[in-house]
Structures are given as structure tokens and as C-alpha cells.
Chain A
């Protein structure tokens, strides 16, 4: 089973592949461990929704 961090990494790679802001997304990935549980969940939720919207 993927961890939340792995899921975020996968989504970020897909978003960068469709030209999302790589520097910003890499920044989020770098500070992932500094986020609280709820902040990590919120980040995952936002990224999942963006990917679903751009890549239905």
C-alpha cells in the first residue's frame, strides 16, 4: 500500500509532466515531513483534485 508521501510524489510527477509549476511542487514535496497530519491530508486532497481535473 502506498504511503501518503509516495502518493503525493506520484501525483506531483504527473502534474509536472503536464506542465504544472515544478519548482513549487518540488518545494511541497521537500517540506512534506514538516507538515502536520491534517496539512498532509489537505495537500494530498488538493493535488488529487487538480490531477483529476486536468487529467479526467
Chain B
């Protein structure tokens, strides 16, 4: 079937509108998956704050993003958020307290190692998340400059707003 109109501004605007809707849906999916992981693995973590953190990609850089960028940001921020949750699981409360999100993200080595490490952590600690993380990793792994951009923004937010991810250490004890 032929398209109703040729690719152009009007078509691209329509596509951007629907990509934005899908970016919002992906944020909800990532919120849910991060919350599930945090509930299962790290009972001391404030699930609501963490889930929100994982899905804040669209506004991290404080600039207007189009639908495609919003979706990419949500996928990358969600992937990094889940990597953080998986990394926290099984830690003693002192270790959790010492492992702030800004410090954790600052030490991540990007490249194939990040995806391998995430897959290993998921396989070991939350097998039900493996498939989602592998596929999200495949989707984002060729977006290295964007990943770096999102990581810098997440570190900045975590540094300026340390309460964003709170560790309820009393409950965790």
C-alpha cells in the first residue's frame, strides 16, 4: 500500500508525536521493571524514588527533546537505573550507603563490558529481567555518545539531589 503522503515535514511531525507517546509508555515499563527489581533485590531502597530516577531520561539535560530522543533517553536511563539496582542487591547496608548513584555511575566503563556485566548481574540476581535488559542493551549499545550524555546528566542530578535515591537503612538492617 502506498503511503498517504510522501515523507516530509508533516509525516515526520506525526511520527514524532507517536514516538513521544511510545517514549512515555517505555518510561512506564521501565518504572515498573525497576520497581520490581528494587522490591525483590534491595528492600532498603526507596522504590518510588528509584523508579522515578530510572525514567527521568527525557528531562535530564534540561533541553527540549524530540520523540526519538525521549525514547532513547528513557531506554538508556532505564538500563543504567536497573544496572544500579542489580549492583546494589546483596550488599550489606554499609556498602549500600557508601555506593551512591553518582559514584557508581562515574565508575562505569562503557562499551561491551557494561552490557556483559549487566547480563551477568541479571542472570545471577534477577533472571526474569535478563531478556528485557539484553534487548534494551541491543537497542542502545550503538548510541555511545548519547549514553555518555545521559550518564553525565544522571550524575549531575544525583549529585545535586542526593535525596532522589534514598536508602532506608533502618528497614534494610
Q: Spell out A's residues near B (CB within 8 Å).
A: 14, 17-21, 23-24, 27-28, 30-31, 33-36, 39, 42-43, 46-47, 49-50, 53-56
In the complex, what's the smallest C-beta–C-beta distance from B136 to chain A, in angstroms?
7
A33 to B83, CA, bound (A): 21
Contact: B139 with A53, CB < 8 Å? no
Contact: B32 with A21, CB < 8 Å? no
Q: What 10 pairs between A and B have smallest CB-CB spacing? A: A50-B18, A27-B139, A18-B3, A30-B135, A34-B132, A46-B21, A19-B7, A31-B135, A55-B4, A42-B25
Q: B1-34, CB under 8 A of A: which get 1 and which 0?
A: 1011101000100110011011001001100110
- Residue among A14, A20, A27, A43 with the highest chain B CB neighbour number at 10 A: A27
Q: Which residue of chain A lies nearest to B142 when distances are taken between CB atoms in the complex? A: A23
Q: Which residue of chain B lies nearest to A14 when distances are taken between CB atoms in the complex? A: B1
Chain B: interface residue total (CB-CB under 8 A): 26
Interface contacts beyond A18-B7, A34-B135, A54-B4: sample of 6 additional A-B pairs, CB < 8 Å, sorted by A:
A21-B15, A31-B131, A34-B132, A47-B18, A54-B11, A55-B1
Q: Which residue of chain B lies nearest to A36 when distances are taken between CB atoms in the complex? A: B32
Q: B44-68, CB under 8 A of A: which get 1 and which 0?
A: 0000000000000000000000001
Residues of B within 8 A of A42 (CB): 25
